[in-house]
Amino acid sequence: MLGAGGFVGAHLCARLAADGWDVVGTVRPGSPPAARHPAVEQVPVELADPAALATAVRAAGPDVAFHLAASRLRDDAAGRTVTAAVNTLSGLHLVEALPDRCRAVIRLGSSTEYAAVDGPMAEDAPLRPRGFFGATKAAGSLLLTAAAAERDIRSVVLRAFQVYGPRDHLTRLVPTVVRAARDGTVLPLTGPGLRRDWVYVADVVEACVLAAGADRLATGSVLNVGTGVQTANEELVALVEQVSGRTVSVASGAYENRSWDTGSWGCDPSAARELLGWEPTTDLVTGLRRCWEAGS
């Protein structure tokens, strides 16, 4: 697995280990012990280094490969170069190094690969990313899919919408709102009306596991992973207040909108339901309550 030390990757490692899988995962060199799972063999690898990545993949020799690694560095030329290498090329190098017996490679994509559209996004929505991160993710998904087809390895891209849950990165919205509710600090927030489709991390993990075992699924399949329910940022704050019993002081408009923020960003999850038998099982209130109870 690429990205075993990341947010979704750590949750997937725990699930696979509990299910009895032998898991080997890459982590960033120098990653903290908290990102590591005791039942998972973790290998420090710089994913922007093709030779190091190929060596690690060949040593692991996986029957199924998961690509969950992502970089979001984009503040300078060096950061953008690393992000492009990790998000765009590491999947290609992964597939090239896989053993012939590998039966599937599952990539966790992103809804940011799509163009902004009015209404729910299906898998045939245009690929016209609005930001640098989305562009690298879209290019990486296309390259991985093409490389896997050349090697006759079944590939699946799961385009996840807004994933949240316990142990998320502290700078993301849900942990930030939970922290503001707990500490009483003022929460800088975007202006009203910006919406996202929030999907709980355990549901995303379930989609990964189902995709790995879905041998009937056509190679090159792309499936959305989301709930189909959109929630504005200010509505999410109100839900955190509900589950925590605390008031959050909000500075509306103090957080600058990003280029990809929009009033309509939701998922049509029907293909995943029909082809994988997958449905989200955790509603937003339940998921936020779990985040509050976990302290994140």
Strand partners, 110: 160
Exposure string (b/e) for 225-245, b if CB count within 10 Å is 16 or more? bbbbbbbebbebbebbbebbe
Q: Please report which confidence band the pLDDT of residue 257 belongs to, taking 50, 70 and 90 as the band edges.
A: confident
Across 8-17, average pLDDT: 95
Exposure string (b/e) for 67-81, b if CB count within 10 Å is 16 or more? bbbbbeeeeeeeebe
Across 81-89, average pLDDT: 95
What domains does the chain contain, in order, with CATH numbers? 7-163+198-225 (3.40.50.720), 164-196+229-266+281-294 (3.90.25.10)
Q: Are 155 and 105 in contact (CB under 8 A)?
A: yes
pTM greater than 0.85 (yes/no): yes
Q: Please report which confidence band the pLDDT of residue 36 belongs to, taking 50, 70 and 90 as the band edges.
A: low
Q: Tokens 């908290």 label which residue?
A: 34
Identify the H or E element spanning 150: helix 132-150
pLDDT for res 90: 97
Strand partners, 107: 67, 157
The string of pLDDT tens digits covering residues 94-142 is: 999 999 999 999 999 999 999 888 889 999 988 989 889 999 999 999 9
